[in-house]
Structure 1
Amino acid sequence: MANQLFQQAREAVAYANSVASGSANGDQQEAVMKAKNALSSAFANCTDAERAQLREFQQTIETL
């Protein structure tokens, strides 16, 4: 079974990135905050490989 929190974090980061680039409508600040919360939740319950990807997602969010 796939890690649901990890998937939610990945989707939240993708959405925040889309809002920041203008390809999706929404509040960028709110999207970034939701992505950060999702990343935080996912870190507690994931594998080492997922953690490495979450760190990459975190770097993406920090640049927005």
Structure 2
Amino acid sequence: MGNQLFQKARETVAIATEASTGNSSVDPQKALDVAKNALTSAYANSTDAEKVQLRQMQDDLDQLQ
């Protein structure tokens, strides 16, 4: 089944990335806020390996700002 919070974080980061490039009708700032929230939620409930990936996703979001 996997970590649902981790999956949600990955999805929201992808949406935020797409929105920041203008390839989506989603508001980029709102998508970024949702992705950051999802990352925070996922981090508290993740394995060490997932945390490494979540930190990379956070770095990716930081570059979008």
TM superposition score category, shorter chain reference: over 0.9
Moved over 3 A (4+): none
Q: Distance in 1 between matches of 2:55 and 2:49?
A: 10
The DSSP-based 3-state class of the residue aligned with 1:17 is helix
TM-score (norm 2): 0.95
Paired position in structure 1 for 2:20 = 20
Root mean square deviation of aligned Cα: 0.6
Paired position in structure 1 for 2:62 = 62
The DSSP-based 3-state class of the residue aligned with 2:46 is coil
Q: Residue type matched to 2:41 in 1?
A: S
- CA deviations on 1:2-24 (whole Å, 9 max, x unpaired) are 10000000000000000011221
TM-score (norm 1): 0.96
